[in-house]
């Protein structure tokens, strides 16, 4: 067995094994549950980096197991350049969320289950990106939903967590069912669930069926991206979920919708077949960008401010995909990575503020800069990052997205998207200034911020700066995926 295959199996095998151990312990060993989970996440991230030499050498590590021979179904894991950026983002965000949870989560007899579900949530995302057959893709796609829904239901905050979990499940499962119908149509048309066979071509759909399948994919995956008006599950889920889960939801799981669009419509169909959807995707992205930004300005709960900013940022990504240009798609992929880092950072900051002050309404906060200077610096960098200020990373991805828009004939949409980004600057400054500037409200008492929450926040801040200053590797990864998309027409 080659080293590449070992790395590929460790990415999923390690967290699955640790999750199983934590479940079997049944409340015993809860003191070490968090550290076991963190250790498995370190191995997962390290194994992901271990795949880079094979990819740069022109290889695409894969492993397959026969599952249902009579239906021609295999369980196949596969890594290519389209997989890598998303896999890296998921692994890094999962590790950050687990480190953050070490002090955020209060250990009790259920802690083993909590960390096991966090690991299964991460496995669902990693498995979705690694799956190279339709059956396995959908299994991991649903694992994401089940694990995250249980985390919200059991460990969510407030009396409404049951209703919020149900709403989250219904909305996202309806999107999943639309994706499932699209997958079944592809299976019926080809007689195989192998993505390798689907990408090889030699099959076709009737025009009406092609349009139906593309609509199912675009709408189904847009639910996971929380594109307006399919976003209704997101603000409540992000608000009620425990902070480590919120970090993984916003910074990693939303990107799965983008991955789905790239892996299926954009990988399996030509640019000529997808062109009729270009303008609708750009319009939907623009509306989501503006709506999310305006709601971020209207909200007062600091978690909901950041939650609605995800609706806005996913709009940028969908707009970039809709341009169907090299620059736009490359920028959208980069935006997934940068958004994952900055959104995880901002939610960590919000969690730290809530932990220290016990407050989450921005009107009840202010003047924390003197008491928390290091966190103030992290917040300033995070706010500038989400606002797209150079040299931080989102500037790079937004530049590419805007450039892709101006390469199309839809110049008015591109201008509106460009000027809509000004709203991001406003809500980012409101978030940072409302918490840390001005005078501290009378009677606002502060607790000490635990070490794991602080160092995880600082580490992500440093990563955001580094990836902005040295974007070369990320641009290279995104550029490598382009020949796999739109029939190689980019």
The residue with greater pLDDT, 107 or 24, is 24
| Residue 39 pLDDT | 95
| Residue 346 pLDDT | 94
The answer on pLDDT for 490 being more than 70 is no
Q: Which residue has the tokens 């902005």?
A: 468
Cβ neighbours, 10 Å, residue 27: 13
Helix (H, G, I), strand (E, B) or coil at 337: helix
| Residue 187 pLDDT | 86
This prediction's pTM: 0.93
Give the pLDDT band of residue 489 (cuts 50, 70, 90).
Answer: low
CA 202 vs CA 123, 173, 197, 268, 338: distances in Å: 33, 32, 9, 11, 37
Nearest to 437 by CA among 365, 383, 353, 361: 365
| Residue 446 pLDDT | 86
Among 78-82, 88-92, 158-162, the least confident range: 158-162
- CA pseudo-torsion sign 230, 233, 236, 239: negative
d(Cα 318, Cα 415) in Å, to the nearest integer? Answer: 16
Residue 215: Cβ-neighbour burial (10 angstroms; 0-12, 13-18, 19+): middle
The answer on pLDDT for 34 being more than 90 is no
d(Cα 55, Cα 225) in Å, to the nearest integer? Answer: 28
- Give 349's contacts (C-beta < 8 A, 6+ positions apart): 375, 378, 379, 382, 457
Helix, strand and coil content of the chain, in percent to the nearest 5, comes to 75, 5, 20
Q: List pLDDT tens digits, range 43-77.
A: 999 999 999 999 998 888 888 877 767 666 678 88
| Residue 61 pLDDT | 87
Q: List pLDDT tens digits, range 358-390.
A: 888 999 898 888 889 999 999 999 999 999 888
The answer on pLDDT for 168 being more than 90 is yes
d(Cα 123, Cα 16) in Å, to the nearest integer? Answer: 7
Nearest to 393 by CA among 318, 325, 342: 342
The answer on pLDDT for 29 being more than 70 is no
d(Cα 168, Cα 164) in Å, to the nearest integer? Answer: 6
The answer on pLDDT for 80 being more than 80 is yes
The answer on pLDDT for 32 being more than 80 is yes
Q: What percent of the chain has pLDDT over 70?
A: 97
Mean pLDDT on 278-282: 95
| Residue 259 pLDDT | 94
Cβ(346)–Cβ(99) below 8 Å: no
Give the pLDDT band of residue 3 (cuts 50, 70, 90).
Answer: confident
| Residue 488 pLDDT | 66
Q: Which two tokens stand for residue 178?
A: 């639309």
Ramachandran angles phi, psi of 25, nearest 5°: -65, -25
Q: List pLDDT tens digits, range 185-232.
A: 988 888 778 888 888 777 778 888 999 999 999 999 999 999 999 999
- In the predicted model, what is the mean pLDDT of the chain? 90
């Amino acid at each position: 067995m080659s080293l590449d295959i070992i790395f590929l199996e460790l990415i999923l095998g390690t967290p699955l094994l640790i999750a199983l151990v934590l479940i079997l312990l049944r409340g015993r060993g809860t003191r070490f549950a968090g550290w076991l989970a963190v250790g498995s996440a370190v191995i997962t991230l390290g194994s992901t980096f271990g795949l880079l030499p094979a990819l740069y050498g022109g290889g695409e590590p894969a492993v397959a197991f026969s599952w249902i021979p009579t239906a021609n179904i295999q369980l196949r894991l596969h890594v290519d350049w389209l997989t890598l950026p998303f896999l890296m983002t998921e692994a890094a965000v999962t590790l950050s969320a687990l480190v953050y949870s070490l002090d955020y989560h209060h250990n009790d007899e259920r802690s083993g289950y909590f960390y096991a579900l966090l690991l299964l949530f991460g496995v669902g995302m990693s498995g979705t990106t690694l799956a190279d057959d339709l059956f396995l893709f959908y299994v991991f796609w649903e694992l994401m939903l089940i694990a995250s829904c249980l985390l919200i239901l059991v460990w969510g905050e407030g009396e409404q967590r049951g209703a919020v979990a149900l709403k989250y499940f219904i909305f996202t499962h309806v999107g999943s069912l639309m994706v499932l119908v699209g997958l079944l149509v592809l299976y019926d048309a080809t007689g195989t669930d192998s993505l390798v066979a689907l990408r090889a071509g030699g099959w076709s759909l009737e025009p009406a069926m092609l349009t139906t399948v593309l609509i199912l994919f675009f709408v189904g995956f847009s639910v996971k991206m929380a594109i307006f008006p399919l976003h209704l599950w997101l603000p409540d889920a992000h608000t009620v979920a425990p902070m480590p889960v919120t970090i993984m939801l916003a910074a990693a799981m939303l990107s799965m919708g983008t991955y789905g669009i790239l892996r299926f419509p954009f990988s399996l169909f030509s640019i000529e077949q997808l062109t009729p959807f270009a303008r609708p995707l750009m319009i939907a992205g623009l509306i989501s960008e503006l709506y999310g930004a305006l709601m971020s300005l209207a909200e007062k709960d600091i978690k909901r401010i950041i939650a609605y900013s995800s609706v806005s940022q996913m709009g940028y990504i969908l707009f970039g995909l809709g341009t169907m240009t090299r620059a736009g798609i490359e920028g959208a992929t980069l935006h997934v990575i940068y958004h994952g880092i900055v959104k995880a950072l901002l939610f960590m900051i919000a969690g730290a503020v809530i932990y220290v002050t016990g407050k989450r309404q921005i009107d009840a906060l202010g003047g924390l800069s003197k008491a928390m200077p290091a966190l103030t610096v992290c917040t300033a960098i995070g706010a500038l990052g989400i606002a797209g200020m150079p040299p931080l990373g989102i500037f790079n991805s937004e530049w590419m997205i805007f450039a892709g828009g101006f390469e199309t004939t839809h110049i008015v949409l591109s201008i509106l998207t460009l000027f809509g980004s000004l709203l991001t600057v406003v809500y980012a400054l409101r978030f940072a200034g409302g918490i840390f500037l001005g005078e501290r409200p009378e009677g606002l008492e502060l607790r000490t911020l635990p070490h794991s929450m602080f160092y995880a926040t600082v580490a992500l801040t440093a990563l955001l700066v580094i990836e902005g200053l040295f974007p070369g590797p990320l641009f290279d990864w995104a550029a490598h995926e382009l020949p796999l998309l739109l029939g190689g027409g980019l």
